[in-house]
Structure formats: C-alpha cells, structure tokens
Amino acid sequence: MRIGVIGLGVIAPYFLRAIEDDEHLTLTAVCDRNEAKLADFSDDSGVATYTDHRELLASGLVDAVVLTLPNAVHAEVAADALRAGVHVCCEKPMTVHLADAHELMALARQSGRTLFTAFHRRYNRNVAALRLGVGDPTAIERLVCRYSERIEEHTGSEAWYLDQDLGGGGCVIDNGPNALDAVRTIVGELELIDATIGDVRRGVEFCAELELRSASGVPVTVELDWALPSGEVKDITVYGKDGSVRSADMLAGFPGFKSSLDHEYAAIMADFRHVVSLGDAYTDAGPDIVALVEQAYAIARRKEPRLRMPSKRPTVARLVKLLFHRRDERGMTMSPWLSRCVRQGELHELVTTTDQPSRPGDRVDAVGFLGFAEFATATVVQRGDVVVCNGQRIGTVAGFDECHWPNHYNILIDTERVLTAEDLNLQVGDPLQFLETVR
C-alpha cells in the first residue's frame, strides 16, 4: 500500500518509522502546510512533498493517507481523502463533533474506502496482557483508568492544543479517546453517566473525571489530568468480583520518554492494513468515542462543580471576642442564602451546630458559640467553606442565621460535636480561615 502522511508534527515520526519497518507499506508522499517540515524529504528520497493536502490527494501517488493534524482539521482533510478514493488512517479523535464523524462514515461507505481511527493504547502490550488476564468482563466489579501527564511535555511548537476551536477542548478530547478506547477493549461498549471537568482556561480543561458503565454493568472511572508537575501516569486497574486486583501500567517496561509508542504505532499500521483488506466488514470505534467525548462536554460544561479551581483569595478573620456557651433550643433559622458578602473590617459571630441545617427555614437548636471574628479583607463566605483555625479544621459552613442582622450574621458551622471557644482552646487574636472546597 502506498501511503501519504499529512501533518509532520510531534506524532508523525512514530508513523513514519512504523511505515518504514512494514514491508507491505511504502511512504510515497508527505504534506505539511509548514514548508520547513518538509526539509527532511529530499528530491531523491522518492517521497513527494506538498504543502496542500489536496495536491497530494490529486497526485495519484497514494492509496491511503495517515492524518496527523490538529483535531479540528481531521474532518475536512479526511473527507477530501475519502472523496479522492483514498483510505484514511486518522489520529484520534476522529473528529471534534459527532455530526462530522457520521458524515465521514457515510462518505467512507459511499466511496468504498476504509476510515480508521488510530487508537494506539489498545495495542499497548501491557493493556493487551491485562485484557487477556481479565477475560470475562462480567467478572469485573469496577475499573479505573488514569491518564495523566504534563501537556507541555507532549506538544510541539504549535499551540493548537490550547485553543478550543482547534483542539476542541483539553484533556477530555485529547487523552480521553485513547483512555476510553483502551477501557472499551476490556469491558466492551461504554455508556457515559457523569462528567466533571476542572482547571478550565479559555474552554480548555486541565483535569476531568468521567463516570461510565459498560453494557454488562461494570462501573468505570476515567481520571484525566493534563497538569501533572512532570512525568506520566497511564494505567488501568481492574477490581474483580472475587477480590482480585489486576493492573496494566501502559509505560512499564518502556523507560524512554514515549518509548512505548513504537510498538503501538507499528501495530496501528499493521491493523490498518488488515482492516483495509476487510473492506465493508470493518466498523471503526471512532464515532462511538467522539460521541462519549461530546456527551462528556455536554454534561460537564453545564455543571457548576468543577475540579481544582480555586476562585477566591484566602482571607483571615481574627477572633476579637471569645464565647463559651452552648444551647439546646436556640431556635436560629437558616437564611435562604448560600453565600454572603463580607466587607473588610466587619464582625460576625461563629456558631457551631450538630443539627446539619441544609434548607432555608431549617430550625437550628443545638449550638455552641466560638466568638466574634473581624474579617481582615473583604470576601464571600459560602456554604461548604471549610473553617480552619491555627491549622485545625473546625467544620464546614452550613449557612447563615440573620437574627442579629444588620449588626452581624451568625455563621453556622457544621461540626461533629457542639463546640465552644473553650473546647478548641481558642485565644483572642487567633486567625480563622474560610477555605472553599475544591475537589
């Protein structure tokens, strides 16, 4: 098969080596819109060079193309290739939008050409060993896949990864496809249950958690992270119903940076050749994975709770008056507000309770008094804030009682026991912090 490679960036060398090592494949053309990237292919290399993929496709020099392009470019170039009667091996994700993936599948059917997504982790030898070891997916209690890296260590000079229009998002669309596909080869088809994203900057998320379920009911968690301090963690752990725990570390046995990719990309090209020979009988998993990614964004981008995104500056409130009493029938009332603005220099009263008030109007009887504290800077105190004093966690803000307003609020703090200043050995001047809960 005569192959053209379109896009000569970071991942292209793994394909080029795999093509060179495969006796059934011949590299006949390459394309990159950046002419400098073509410099490695001299006139006498036997490889034609192009800066426009349409010229490469019209050259008659290729039976198939490998697409190693920014995510948002896959749909257009793959469609051009299929229309030109050329088989396509496309880097993941097949497309950013599911509608484009469906269009490509229809084009592939019409043209009688193969459309194949290069999910390299399904060929990882440690993942393959895990798949064999696990065998029957109905014996699985649950599965966890972690896919973490520092994205800057994996990108080239182009910054499209950080541009929502070109990349489609962050770690969900970048690492999600390989993680989801590898998991799918162990437990079968997946249904998305929930998705949470975090550390979102200009539409690009740096961490995410996906909750899924396989057709046979196995719960699956996929944890994605683009912001490890350095290095990579890429593994799958399978917890069996019999209490067994089996794992595949995708990088074990491959100490060099990205060194596992050589055997994975060699297997991609061998499998691509094979599925081209199958013709219509082959069904690509690409659109199913695009669908999961699209659904994950639809859920996660609507949700308020986000991972790892601090949103308020730390503030300190110093105790100016300690209180030592407690009451069993105080009769405070939860106000309707989940948060209250507090101005610099304001004083508010801190009240612990074991009543766990959660709705507006809830009566609060079992209370202990810590004292009054002066806020050093303006802030927003909100339900769920963790209250800390001298490094000791006191409890979490439940809400507010306004019986003394406008003099001050009673800030209600959920605690396991009713506590007073005495119980916590509080001193005048001690600093209290209100830390937001960030998962």
Cβ atoms of 214 and 265 within 8 Å: the answer is no
Nearest distance, CB of residue 79 and ligand NAD, angstroms: 13
Instruction: Output 49 or 196, the one with its CB closest to ligand NAD.
Output: 49
Calculate the alpha carbon distances from 377 to 85, 231, 246, 324 in Å. 67, 39, 51, 26
Nearest distance, CB of residue 271 and ligand NAD, angstroms: 15
Nearest distance, CB of residue 244 and ligand NAD, angstroms: 31
Question: Which of 400, 387, 413, 395 is CA-nearest to residue 342?
Answer: 400
Among 6, 143, 172, 296, which residue sits at the site for ligand NAD (rule: CB under 6 A)? 6
180 near ligand NAD, rule: CB under 6 A:
no
Contacts with ligand NAD by CB under 6 A: the residue count is: 26
Instruction: Output 53 or 131, the one with its CB closest to ligand NAD.
Output: 53
Among 28, 49, 68, 95, which residue sits at the site for ligand NAD (rule: CB under 6 A)? 68
368 near ligand NAD, rule: CB under 6 A:
no
Distance CA 276, CA 111 (A): 13
Two tokens at 335?
């106000």
234 near ligand NAD, rule: CB under 6 A:
no
Nearest distance, CB of residue 157 and ligand NAD, angstroms: 7
Instruction: Output 89 or 319, the one with its CB closest to ligand NAD.
Output: 89
**Residue whose Cβ sits closest to ligand NAD:** 9
288 near ligand NAD, rule: CB under 6 A:
no
Among 70, 168, 198, 287, which residue sits at the site for ligand NAD (rule: CB under 6 A)? 70
165 near ligand NAD, rule: CB under 6 A:
no
Question: What values do phi and psi take at 13, rounded to 5?
Answer: -60, -30
Nearest distance, CB of residue 313 and ligand NAD, angstroms: 36
Two tokens at 123?
């060929």
Nearest distance, CB of residue 226 and ligand NAD, angstroms: 12
Two tokens at 426?
């509080």
Q: Give the binding range for ligand NAD (CB under 6 A) out of 58-66, 154-162, 288-296, 392-400.
A: 154-162
* Partner residues linked to 2 by β-bridges: 26
Distance CA 293, CA 385 (A): 32
Among 21, 34, 112, 356, which residue sits at the site for ligand NAD (rule: CB under 6 A)? 34
Instruction: Output 54 or 109, the one with its CB closest to ligand NAD.
Output: 54
7 near ligand NAD, rule: CB under 6 A:
yes
Among 10, 380, 386, 388, which residue sits at the site for ligand NAD (rule: CB under 6 A)? 10
8 near ligand NAD, rule: CB under 6 A:
yes
Two tokens at 345?
């220099």
Distance CA 346, CA 373 (A): 8
Among 27, 64, 88, 91, which residue sits at the site for ligand NAD (rule: CB under 6 A)? 91
Nearest distance, CB of residue 169 and ligand NAD, angstroms: 11
What residues make contact with ligand NAD under the rule CB under 6 A?
Answer: 6-12, 31-34, 37, 53, 68-71, 73, 91-92, 154-156, 158, 160, 174
